[in-house]
């Protein structure tokens, strides 16, 4: 299709039936092929929408996506232009050499490894707007060394947000900011080591188990089933759980077990660490509220922006019982860590302005569409679980077939995770853990096609 632009013509290899995503890919190709030159203006959203017979809002969204990906550059009061470099700076992932910032992911072309959001979806415009507002109003003391507990401005904003969105009992004085869940569980492992063993769900993420054990405590496993943690099997003074969406199997802790776990903590003096890693992304029913509200003085609530915004921000929080505020704060201070105050003020502004909620709603809808596409594309015989929420699905494979399945995906240049490393004791189930969030929107379709081809080859 040829599109008029002032006195020049622009040929776009676009078909109306491909919609917004097809238009975005057509513009990417025009930039990569040199038909749209670096630094040159692209058609206005109004003129392109008129020529293509689309709603102007559709074209505006496409331009916003390409700006976030680095293909276009916008400036207030000026035409939208192709980035000066022509195309985004090529990363190792773009070149087929694996992700640049996740060294544990195999070096392949298509990244469906679990645990990360789409980095191109970071809300740059909202972040820049919030940064300007913070820079205009922040007092001079904001640029001094911060409180090891974190900015009070962000703690107050988080208390409101967590109470409203997750049902957490969140007094700002009980919130301690940290550099993500790994940082938080490492600190808690040091504080709680003297209590004895630390129990984790079996299966669970091995790197978090190692972080918790860094303080000297022994890590033990507690089995899970389709109703979540088997509370009757807990025999340790501290247990770490993912009740809203068990990682990696995906079960939600059943109501009676939530009640039983809170009762266990209150009656035995035990402590529960609730890792609410993707509580904002529930698709098929109303959100599951935080477990912490059932026993705020016995349950430590942990959250981050690693799934909602970006793992690169290294921003997380612990809502701790009053008796643990000072021990946790002191443990953080002893490491020399200081919270990044300016970034925390910007995050607080996002929360307060409503921009964070808008971004989460948009990503929830986008990830649900991706999940639905994954479910529709999976070949017969591959039944997914853990799909009511989150950014990943588990696909079962025969007990002796996990290594073969992983080898097949690598042959087709697709990265997924195996279930085997997650088990603490004897492996009880084989499977693939497939993340559907990390590819950019234009790359998800080809990545899904490669995955399906790999799975079909197993038959």
What is the DSSP code (8-state) at residue 288? P
**Fold of the domain spanning 2-82:** Arc Repressor Mutant, subunit A (1.10.10)
Query: What values do phi and psi take at 356, rounded to 5?
Result: -65, -45
**CATH annotation of 126-353:** 3.40.640.10
| Domains of the chain by residue range | 2-82, 110-116+357-457, 126-353
Per-residue tens of pLDDT for the chain, all 459 residues: 545 443 345 677 777 877 887 888 888 888 877 778 888 888 888 888 888 888 888 888 888 778 766 788 877 678 888 886 545 544 444 444 444 457 778 888 999 999 999 999 999 999 999 999 999 999 998 888 888 899 999 999 999 999 999 999 999 999 999 999 999 999 999 999 999 999 999 999 999 999 999 889 999 999 999 999 999 999 999 999 999 999 999 999 999 999 999 999 999 999 999 999 999 999 987 778 999 999 999 999 999 999 999 999 999 999 999 999 999 999 988 888 888 999 999 999 999 999 999 999 999 999 999 999 999 999 998 989 888 899 999 999 887 889 999 999 999 999 999 999 999 988 788 999 999 999 999 899 999 999 999 999 986
H or E stretch at 29: helix 19-32
d(CA 275, CA 239): 11
**CATH annotation of 110-116+357-457:** 3.90.1150.10
Cis check: omega of the bond before 431, within 30 degrees of 0: no
The pTM of the full predicted model, rounded to 2 decimals, is 0.79
Exposure string (b/e) for 112-149, b if CB count within 10 Å is 16 or more? bbbbbbbbbbbbeebbebbbeebeeebeeebeeebbbb
Residues in the chain: 459
């Amino acid at each position: 299709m040829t599109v008029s632009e002032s006195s020049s013509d622009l040929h776009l290899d676009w078909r109306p039936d491909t919609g917004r995503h097809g238009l975005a890919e057509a513009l990417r190709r025009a930039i990569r092929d040199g038909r749209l030159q670096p630094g040159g203006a692209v058609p206005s959203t109004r003129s392109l929408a008129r020529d293509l017979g689309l709603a102007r809002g559709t074209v505006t969204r496409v331009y916003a996506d390409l700006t976030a990906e680095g293909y276009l550059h916008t400036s207030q009061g000026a035409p939208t232009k192709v980035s000066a470099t022509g195309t985004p700076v090529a990363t190792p992932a773009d070149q087929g050499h694996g992700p640049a910032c996740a060294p544990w992911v195999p070096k392949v072309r298509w990244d469906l490894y679990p645990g990360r959001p789409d980095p191109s979806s970071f809300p740059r415009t909202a972040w820049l707007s919030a940064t300007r507002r913070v820079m205009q109003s922040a007092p001079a003391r904001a640029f001094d060394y911060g409180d090891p507990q974190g900015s009070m401005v962000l703690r107050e904003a988080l208390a409101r947000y967590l109470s409203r969105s997750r049902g957490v009992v969140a007094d700002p004085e009980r919130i301690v900011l940290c550099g993500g869940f790994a940082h938080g569980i490492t600190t808690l492992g040091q504080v709680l080591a003297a209590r004895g063993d630390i129990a984790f769900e079996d299966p669970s993420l091995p790197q978090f188990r190692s972080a918790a054990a860094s303080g000297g405590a022994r890590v033990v496993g507690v089995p899970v089933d389709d109703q979540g943690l088997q509370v009757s099997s807990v025999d340790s003074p501290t247990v770490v759980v993912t009740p809203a969406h068990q990682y990696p199997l995906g079960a939600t802790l059943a109501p009676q077990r939530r009640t039983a776990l809170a009762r266990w903590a209150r009656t035995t003096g035990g402590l529960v660490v609730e890792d609410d890693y993707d509580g904002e992304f529930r698709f098929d029913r109303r959100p599951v509220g935080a477990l912490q509200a059932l026993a705020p003085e016995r349950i430590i609530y942990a959250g981050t922006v690693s799934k909602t915004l970006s793992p690169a921000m290294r921003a997380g929080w612990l809502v701790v019982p009053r008796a643990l505020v000072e021990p946790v704060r002191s443990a953080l201070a002893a490491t020399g860590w200081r919270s990044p105050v300016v970034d925390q003020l910007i995050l607080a502004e996002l929360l307060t302005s409503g921009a964070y909620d808008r971004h989460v709603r948009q990503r929830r809808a986008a990830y649900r569409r991706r999940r639905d596409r994954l479910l529709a594309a999976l070949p017969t015989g591959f039944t997914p679980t853990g799909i009511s929420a989150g950014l990943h699905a588990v696909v079962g494979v025969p007990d002796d077939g996990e290594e073969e399945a992983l080898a097949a995906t690598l042959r087709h240049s697709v990265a997924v995770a195996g279930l085997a490393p997650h088990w603490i004791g004897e492996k009880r189930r084989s499977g693939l853990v497939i993340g559907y969030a990390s590819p950019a929107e234009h790359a998800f379709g080809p990545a899904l096609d490669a995955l399906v081809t790999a799975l079909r080859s197993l038959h």
